[in-house]
Chains A and B, each alone.
Chain A
Amino acid sequence: MRPEDWRKLGLRDDEYDRIKEALGREPNHLELGMFSVMWSEHCSYKHSKAVLKTFPTTGPRVLQGPGENAGVVEIGDGLAVCFKIESHNHPSAVEPYQGAATGAGGIIRDIFTMGARPIALLNSLRFGPLTDERVRYLFAQVVAGIAGYGNRIGIPTVGGEIYFDPCYQGNPLVNAMCVGLLKTDQLRLGKATGIGNPVILAGARTGRDGMGGASFASVELSEETQAPDIQVGDPFTEKLLLEACLELIGRGDVEGIQDLGAAGLTCAVSEMASRGGTGMEIELAKVPCREEGMTPYEIMLSESQERMLLVVAPEKEAKVHAVFKRWGLTSATIGRVTEDGMLRIRMHGAVVAEIPARSLTEDAPVYHPEAKEPTYLKSTADLPLAAIAEPADYDSVLLKLLASPNLASKEWVWRQFDYLARTSTLVGPGSDAAVIRIRGTKKGLALTADCNSRYVYLDPYEGAKIAVAEAARNIVCSGGEPLAITDGLNFGSPEKPEIYWQFRQAVAGISEACRVLETPVTGGNVSFYNEANGEAIYPTPIIGMVGLLEDATQYCTPSFKAAGDLVVLLGETYDELGGSEYLALIHGRVQGKPPALDLAKEKALHRTVLAAIRQGLVRSAHDLSEGGLAVAVAECTFGNQLGAVVELARGDLRTDSLLFGESQSRVVLSLPPEKLPALQTLAAQEKVPLRVIGRTGGDRLQIFVDGNRSIDRSVAELHTAWQEGIPCHLP
């Protein structure tokens, strides 16, 4: 082997030396290829592994933490929830429809691999500004791709979030989250156990598509980046695969199971063997191929979609093939589990690769890159409030904020998703969190995905903390008790010390928030190298959170429900404009520190709101986030076109901080006046500041500050601005 042989595959010189050491000889071409994909960042997490170990990953409900295909938490009644988020950023930048579609397909497989029936999808998307033609194309195609896959497979897309910022212009983010439900005794793991057990490959045939996708995901995008062949998603085959696998798992016919994703068969065989402490013998001539004449290298590295690897007991083998056949799928026994820990890959009997399974997985390199505080923070940290002029017209500021694509209604997007499939959606997209019921029980799940990456950019530690807190607040405002998170960590190149510092800080921030809020990390995904032509995206650690409602009918939504109700603000407002949408949109500044977050106060707020919802005290609850109090109250008026009169006292705050500042740990509630004393008691117990700020009624939103009319617009006008915010940019 010459240095260019391994360098071309993205391996470093010292990594090549390690490979020789692991094998005790020079690798052949196939072996080198297998190492290159398994030791890519995407598969090995070599730059992140050490840091990810610091996450809190245990809790009384956690049945399966990180390291498997997805995390699993118990919810009582013998049931558990399985969920995970995953990125498909680079494929979506190249071919947005198929990139997004196969992203959805991949995460769905991760869920049913665990023995869980997928019951909901969410997504978290980031694009450049919609004023750009290419961005509009990417945006429309990504949405269509998610819809095309999720709708066809019959899993509702119930929620998500979308932001637009120039930092994502060349490198959009497409993160998909899937949530599944299983009986706790049907949990299956990706482990190859039982020496001599047959290994079965099922689902789609193997083609030459997606070769080297894992390596592609592990470099920065540039003009010269060579994209692999696009994988085409086939939701129809995946639906059949899903039903066949769940049927087999339900009948106890499967010992171990794993889906084929990045690094294809190489990853599946090495991870299953490695987790099981076993080895495998594989005969590639038995792999059902889509094209003739495929080489061992192509078969082992293909990333063809909709495939599964199963380990079954010998006496179940024939039955398993029969079930796949009944579902119209190909399946073939391609090998056996062995006890020597080696992957022995044969082609027509001849050994073409022989590698210790662990050397591809657990023994992959782990790096501790250099971290350095970014210099930009010195210039962004200081926000001289005195230099920010207060606007003369708050009405127009509110209208502009509502129409900003980041805050505007995302209905144009979610109307394209079948959010009602499975007839279990109680609260669909467009609310703080989605709520779905669990048939056959009283329970429900609240689901959300959140991250304000501008905050994370301005202070990775605090910003990441806020992402967790906001996700939990959304769950709580919907009536759910936060259970656990999955994280989609999207960053630039970890080989740049400033990016690595962002990553380390963000992980530390998530960890702290998860400890205090008691929402362990059950898994997730790291996506590095999100850069276009040398410019990194804002650090974007997306938090996917699952919450539990013991009684699904006790969900809550943001909309005001009845005229004459009191409008109550929980939490404290400060002069905090740093990192706000208001500051960026109206004053053109991405500057300052994100709002301060006291996790103990946040937790107290959650207890208060949750108790109030469960006791039936409140008719609506909405968390305050981008756009602050004025935007939050406006959003509460839209659902039922029911206005409000709000009276605020400024104290020593600026009026713009009061109306549009994004101070944390705040919630707007509405409730019948007679319920106020009970709410006050709850808030007092938890020392949560409570102010009655107004009353619902009429068809206008009027906000008075110290008796001065600051905002006075019809609900209809505000609603139209909010609804048209995205469609007005599209043809």
Chain B
Amino acid sequence: MKFGVIVFPGSSGDLDLYHLIKDVLEAPVDYIWHEDTSVQGFDCLILPGGSSYGSYLRGGALARHSPVMAAVTAFAHRGGLVLGIADGFQVLTEAGLLPGALYTNAGGRFHCHSTTLRVENPDTPFTRNLHRNQLLSIPFAHGEGNYFVDPATLQQLEENGQIVFRYADERGQPSMEANPNGSVSNIAGVCNKTRNVLGMMPQPERAGEAVLGSTDGLAIFLSILKYWEGRQ
């Protein structure tokens, strides 16, 4: 299977994702330019973190209208795997591929630190190497990661198993104190109804090598590879 990392103008996480997939996972990967109109030949698309279009107007709002997004949307509707990380998550909500919206952190400031995530749903292509309530240490770095959905949508997300990760404390409780940005119900990652599109604010590519302090992020990429193997 082949990963495609989308390069929006201003993206920076693209370089880190490319390194992780190519050098650590040793899996096929290529960049996809934002002006490309086809994503043919790719099996999983990743929308990277960083600041596409300088995060101007709203994070992800401008990138969402890039030429490549029509192809990404069609790919997702055909059931293709799409992972949006941080800024990429914002692009996916702006594009309507995921419910809700992301806005200014409750503290009002950008924050960079390690967070603990609790796996809420291991039954997605992105989490099948994990088990329910497993805790992952994955760093986050953003200023607009405050996830919002209205109460009715939240209930639907719960019922459909669309909440994939929650911020939790070290005991695994999704407590107020463990919520780093004010997200509704401590939500750190959600998927669409058909579970082939995942968005998450913490950045798993930053927890992919022991030398960086955590390899917990690798499980997400390994899950994708395993899911793909199972499909063949």
Contacts and interface: CB of A to CB of B under 8 A. Distances in A.
> Are A and B in direct contact (Cβ within 8 Å)?
yes
Interface of A: 144, 147-148, 151-154, 234-237, 239-240, 327-328, 414-423, 425-426, 437, 439, 552-553
Interface in B156-213: 203, 205-206, 208-209, 211-212
9 contacts: A151-B141, A152-B55, A235-B54, A236-B10, A237-B54, A418-B141, A423-B208, A426-B211, A437-B211
B132 interface: no
A439 B23 contact: yes
Contacts of B55: 152
A254 B10 CA distance: 23
A154 B13 contact: yes
Contacts of B27: none
Given A328-B9, A422-B16, A234 B51 contact: no
Contact of B113 (A144, A151, A239, A415): A415
Contact of A235 (B20, B23, B51, B141): B51
A427 B1 CA distance: 35
The 5 closest A-B pairs by CB, nearest first: A154-B12, A236-B54, A152-B51, A418-B141, A423-B16
A418 B202 CA distance: 13
A117 to B, nearest CB: 9
Interface in B99-114: 109-113
A239 B112 CA distance: 20
Interface hub of A415, A425, A552 (most chain B Cβ within 10 A): A415
A239 B12 contact: yes
B56 A416 contact: no
Contacts of A236: 9-10, 51, 53-54, 56
Interface string B47-60: 00011011110000
B141 A421 contact: yes
B15 interface: yes
A152 B54 contact: yes
Contacts of B19: 423, 439
Nearest to B112: A418
Given A235-B51, A236-B54, A423-B208, A147 B15 contact: no
Contact of B51 (A151, A414, A415): A151
Contact of A154 (B51, B53, B139, B206): B51
Given A236-B51, A236-B54, A419 B206 contact: no
B202 to A, nearest CB: 11
A425 B114 CA distance: 13
Contacts of B9: 236, 239-240, 327-328
Given A154-B12, A426-B211, A419 B56 contact: no
Contact of A151 (B11, B110, B212): B110
Contact of B212 (A153, A328, A423): A423
Interface hub of A153, A416, A421 (most chain B Cβ within 10 A): A421
Contacts of A327: 9
Contacts of A151: 51, 110, 112, 141, 143
Contact of A152 (B10, B111, B211): B10
Contacts of A147: 110
Contacts of B141: 151, 418, 420-421
Contacts of A425: 212
Given A144-B109, A240-B9, A421-B13, 6 more contacts: A154-B13, A236-B10, A420-B203, A420-B206, A422-B12, A423-B212
A152 B56 CA distance: 10
A552 to B, nearest CB: 7
A69 B71 CA distance: 43
A148 B203 CA distance: 19
A213 to B, nearest CB: 23
Interface of B: 9-13, 15-16, 19-20, 23, 50-51, 53-56, 109-113, 139, 141, 143, 203, 205-206, 208-209, 211-212
B111 A415 contact: yes
A415 B139 CA distance: 12
A47 B140 CA distance: 47
A416 B110 contact: yes
B212 A418 contact: no
Contacts of A419: 112
A549 to B, nearest CB: 12
B51 A416 contact: no
A425 B211 CA distance: 9
Nearest to A421: B12
A416 B109 CA distance: 7
A154 B113 CA distance: 16
Contacts of B208: 423
Contacts of A415: 111-113
Contacts of B112: 151, 414-420
A315 B38 CA distance: 33
B54 A423 contact: no
Given A240-B10, A420-B139, A552-B211, A234 B110 contact: no
Nearest to B140: A420
Nearest to B20: A423
A152 B212 CA distance: 22
Contacts of B53: 236
Interface hub of A151, A234, A418, A425 (most chain B Cβ within 10 A): A418
A235 B50 CA distance: 12
A414 B141 CA distance: 11
Nearest to A140: B109
Contacts of B54: 152, 234-237, 239
A419 to B, nearest CB: 6
A418 B110 contact: yes
A641 B23 CA distance: 36
B8 to A, nearest CB: 11
Nearest to A328: B9
Contacts of B23: 439
Given A416-B111, A420-B139, A426 B212 contact: yes
Contacts of B109: 144, 416
Contacts of B203: 420
Contacts of B111: 415-416
A239 B10 contact: yes
A421 B50 CA distance: 9
A648 to B, nearest CB: 34
Contacts of A418: 110, 112, 141
Contacts of A153: 12, 51
A437 B209 CA distance: 12
B174 to A, nearest CB: 21
A630 to B, nearest CB: 28
A416 B107 CA distance: 11
Contacts of A414: 112
Interface hub of B56, B110, B206 (most chain A Cβ within 10 A): B110
A423 B18 CA distance: 11
Contacts of A152: 10, 51, 54-55
B209 A423 contact: yes
Nearest to A422: B16
A175 to B, nearest CB: 21
A296 B120 CA distance: 63
Contacts of A144: 109
A148 B10 CA distance: 13
Interface hub of B9, B12, B139, B143 (most chain A Cβ within 10 A): B12
Nearest to B7: A243
Contacts of B11: 154
B211 A154 contact: no
Given A236-B9, A240-B9, A416-B109, A423 B206 contact: yes
Given A152-B10, A154-B51, A239-B12, A423 B205 contact: yes
A730 to B, nearest CB: 11
